[in-house]
Amino acid sequence: MTELEQLEKGIDEAAESMLSAKYVTGLTRAGISVESNIPPFRGPGGLWTKYGEPPMDSYQRFLAGPKWEWERRLKTEGYAKELYEIMKTAKPNQTIIPWPR
């Protein structure tokens, strides 16, 4: 079997798995969304670069006040507002990442 045939077989198997699954999760690397015009969080043009990095203790905050933390997370202001607006029009891209790396 050629490399192309192996790739096509793998794609077909993955598609069958996704179509028959109740839930599908995709794992990607940082920055892959940039090709879909979704800015990264860090670096040039990054959302956290513009708005500042959010607190990294969300789990502890959630435990201390679940209602307050959910309300805070659901607010669309700062980087979240920009991200939500961009996500409304985002389209998949053709980025191919060789796996495994």
Mean pLDDT of the chain: 84
Q: Is the dihedral of CA 72, 77, 79, 85 positive or negative?
A: positive
Mean pLDDT along residues 45-54: 87
Burial of 29 (C-beta count, 10 Å sphere; 0-12/13-18/19+) = exposed
Amino acid at 43: G
Q: Which residue has the tokens 């043009």?
A: 45
Question: What would the two tokens of residue 37 be?
Answer: 């015009």
Question: What would the two tokens of residue 42 be?
Answer: 């860090």
pLDDT range class, residue 88, cuts 50, 70, 90: confident
Q: How far apart are CA 23 and CA 79, in angstroms?
A: 28
pTM over 0.85: no
Higher pLDDT, 19 or 98: 19
pLDDT of residue 74: 79
pLDDT of residue 96: 63
